[in-house]
A and B are shown apart, each in its own frame.
Chain A
Amino acid sequence: MEYLLTLAILAALSAVLAIGLNLVLGYGGLLSVAHPIFYGLGAYASALLTMQANVPIPLAIVLAALGCAAASVPLALCSLRVSGDYFVIVSLGFQLAVLQIINNLEITGASGGLSRIPTFAHGSDRNLICLGVLLVAVAATLVLVRTLVQSPFGRALTAMRNDEEALSALGRDPVRMKISIFALSAGIAGFAGGLYAHIFQFLTPSQFGIETSTALLTMVVVGGTATIWGPLVGALLMTCVPQAIQFLDLPQAIGGPIQGMIFSVLVLIFLFLRPQGLMGGSRGGGGLDAWSGRRPGRSSRRPDVIVERLAEEVGS
């Protein structure tokens, strides 16, 4: 029972992270791998605020989230100069650099990490309380992202993925939009990090490295980029599958590498066979392209629409 609760807690944390990452990756169309570093920054910031400054836990988590939102601005500014593959490398550099700093500072406990972090849940129902808090967090994040992408802001994001220059020429500001979604997504990650720190009460830098980046990317891609439910489904799946493998009773030397292989193989399979992910629309890449705020009146794949369009093309 305790094992299942812990598993559910991990899945919920991943879900919050993946939903937040989808905002940048799916809706913003910006491939950033640095998402876990904001998770880490949030976790360390919240832990240190409570341990060193005696800040109450809820306030510490909120402050950590705001700090992460601010810390994302330099990365967002990089995304304005470089895009695509180059931005992947910049974001990776950003992540590793911050990780090295955490790894070498005395205040963060260096590579040994931080332990005895205060918690908000005590007693025998501890895990149940934590799970309850996390489920509320997952629901809140889902509602937040859904509201956002269906709002006029979400419409502008879709247009930005279509043609950024044409959007600017209408007076909209993609620079501001990118900084906004980076800040919001990093803030969500920081919030999740704060919860993580006060639930597990122990942090090491290695938890926020490139392996976590890979896992999060897998969740979003497999679930479906730029879909509301995709990251949630992806997070559940990607948390449970590796655990199921452990029941196979494989020797340690095989079990570890096999997890990484499963992630990579899954990503490859999905990118080739179902790029829109599990929850994406039936149209190829439908998840990425369609704006969820307003469904078109008629589908462009309907034969009568195609014929009508051809007739206009010939007749005009």
Chain B
Amino acid sequence: MSAILQVIGLRKRFGGIVVADDITLGLRPGEVVGLIGPNGAGKTSLFNLITGVIRPDSGTIMMDGVRIDTLRLSERAQMGIARTWQHARSFPSLTLLDNLLLGARDYPGDSLLRTLLQPGISRRMEAEAEQRAMQLLERVRLAHKAHDLASDLSYGQQKLLGMARALMSEGACLLLDEPMAAVEGRTYAIMREVIEQEAHRGQAVCIVEHNVGFIRDLCSRGVFMAAGKVLADGPVDELMKMKDLTALYFGAAA
């Protein structure tokens, strides 16, 4: 199957630091790709480039055959790119339900005039989004907290909330930034279950993760990055066998 998200020859440097050095990468529907590499390899920067948090110096990003690298962050999200953040970044002064509603693909509050002049349509859209939001909260086992403030959640729960929020838009491409960092036990199991379900549904999932066991369990394909370059791209088992990569990953000691 052809790639839904295609990155071609992407370059970005901040002064002397190169975060993306001619990166070419494709994500196919239903595939879970693990993005691995040492700290500072440019993994999160690649997510930031794809989603539009930072602009590339050169290169092309295509989503479903459409060039998106000149679009703004919000426009790319509307195109179906959803992401989570390393530190959850939930909206602390809103309830869990409100956090999720903001991620709806058609959000009634996008137009001030519609909110004011067509309250009926606005309410109907809200009701539909609310149904989906409750289902998602159910899936991450947070439905009983739907009306609590996001700031009341534990760290692991914040990550689950971030995950559920990213799924609200029913996008085609899901970028997860260290979903398992500082997460264990039950939360780990829920997170894993949701990722598997999403891949099964046909989402292209890309995960930045340091937890090697998790990558091996879940990812069909691994991409190894260092110093802004993609050094290897292939089945995870084969990547794990490559001695020089392991050395790079664990530093000189390995």
Q: Please list the 9 inter-chain residue pairs (A to B) with the smallest Cβ-Cβ separation, ordered nearest first.
A: A152-B109, A297-B147, A171-B77, A153-B109, A168-B73, A180-B112, A162-B91, A166-B89, A289-B93
Interface size on A, residues (CB 8 A): 45
B155 touching A313 by the CB < 8 A rule?
Answer: yes
Q: Mark B70-112, 1 if CB is under 8 A from A, else 0.
A: 0011110110001101000111111101110111010111111
Residues of B within 8 A of A155 (CB): 94, 98, 101-102, 109
- Bound complex: CA of A128 vs CA of B119, how far in Å? 35
Query: Does A151 touch B at the CB level, under 8 Å?
Result: yes
- Bound complex: CA of A151 vs CA of B102, how far in Å? 12
**Out of B75, B82, B94, B155, which one reaches A158, CB within 8 Å?**
B94
| Given contacts A158-B94, A170-B165, A171-B78, A316 and B186 within 8 Å (CB-CB) | yes
Q: Mark A148-173, 1 if CB is under 8 A from B, else 0.
A: 10011111101101110111111111
Interface size on B, residues (CB 8 A): 55
- Bound complex: CA of A302 vs CA of B15, how far in Å? 49
Residues of B within 8 A of A305 (CB): 148, 152
Which residues 164-193 in A have Cβ within 8 Å of B in the complex? 165-177, 180-181, 184
Please, which residue of chain B has its CB at the minimum distance from the CB of A159? B91
- Bound complex: CA of A289 vs CA of B149, how far in Å? 11
Query: Does A312 touch B at the CB level, under 8 Å?
Result: yes
- Bound complex: CA of A316 vs CA of B103, how far in Å? 26
| Given contacts A171-B105, A291-B98, A300-B149, A166 and B91 within 8 Å (CB-CB) | yes
Q: Most chain-A Cβ atoms within 10 A of its Cβ — which of B73, B103, B146, B153?
A: B73
Query: Does B60 touch A at the CB level, under 8 Å?
Result: no
Please, which residue of chain A has its CB at the minimum distance from the CB of B147? A297
- Bound complex: CA of A152 vs CA of B125, how far in Å? 10
B157 touching A312 by the CB < 8 A rule?
Answer: yes
Q: Mark B137-176, 1 if CB is under 8 A from A, else 0.
A: 0000000001111011111110000000100110000000
Q: Mark A290-316, 1 if CB is under 8 A from B, else 0.
A: 110110111010000100010011011
